[in-house]
Amino acid sequence: MKNSADISFNLMRVLYTFIEEAKHQYLMDKYLIMNSDEFVTRLLKFRRWQDAQLSLLGRVLLKYGLDHYFDSKDFEIGRTPDYKPYIKNHNLHFNISHAGNLVICCIHESPVGIDVEYINQEADYEEFKFQMTSGELEKIHFSEDKVQSFFTYWTEKEAVIKAHGKGMFIPLDSFEVNHSKAIIENEIFYLKEIYLDKKYQCCIAANEDIREKTIFVKRLNVNFL
């Protein structure tokens, strides 16, 4: 028999998809009306279709996940004083991230953060050294693949900050990730890398130990949304 911690963990869902220009107007026509006026106004200000579709599909993935796995068809999104979005009147947490042509959403019963980054092979980690601890900088500097190591570092730190909930109020160099674990303000967060695509780096953070857990990850095709 599974204990309560296992049951709680098994409710974590991670969904992702890739944007498609050919489906842009179809997605806008179908899903804009399902969102708040404030979100629609913000979405329509984007100049690039890519930015608009990434933001829209983040909400679509959230709706799909709530409908299919948490039996929550009606929901409203609010924001904490630190501007972290949350689901009103539900004991559920979510986080959305996007980079390049990929958007991802994680839903869980406890605080969670997820970050995805497009692996830019031209990136120079030295430009970000002032946002790293000396230990992190040394680890990247002596790694065999410095670009991969840098993006691993970056997604880990961003995921932790997003799980914590205070965003830019927490400097990246104010805490360090060791053995896929980090501590912010006496709160422990655990990290796990998620493989999605060879061009992207992704990491998830939670305030429960997920390092040895199997996370449910599903890719959705925009043709069937």
CA dihedral 45, 49, 52, 56 (to 10 degrees): 140
The answer to whether 87 and 75 have CB atoms below 8 angstroms apart is yes
Instruction: Please state whether beta strands 200-206 and 216-219 pair in parallel, antiparallel, or not at all (unpaired).
Output: unpaired
Q: What is the pLDDT of residue 1?
A: 36
Is the per-residue pLDDT at 4 higher than 50?
A: no
- The number of domains in the chain is 1
Per-residue model confidence as pLDDT tens digits over 132-165: 999 999 999 999 999 999 999 999 999 999 999 8
Domain extent at residue 101: 4-224
6-10, 25-29, 109-113, 194-198, range with the lowest pLDDT = 6-10
CATH for 30: 3.90.470.20
Q: What is the pLDDT of residue 41?
A: 94
Q: CA dist 85 to 43, 74, 111, 165, Å?
A: 16, 16, 11, 9
Long-range contacts of 215-218 (CB under 8 A, 24+ apart): 215/12, 215/14, 216/10, 216/12, 216/13, 216/14, 217/14, 217/15, 217/16, 218/13, 218/14, 218/15, 218/16
Question: Which pTM was predicted?
Answer: 0.91
54-68, 98-112, 138-152, 155-169, range with the lowest pLDDT = 155-169
Q: What is the pLDDT of residue 10?
A: 60
Is the per-residue pLDDT at 5 higher than 50?
A: no
Q: What is the pLDDT of residue 88?
A: 87
Q: What is the pLDDT of residue 7?
A: 39
Who has greater pLDDT, 167 or 199? 199
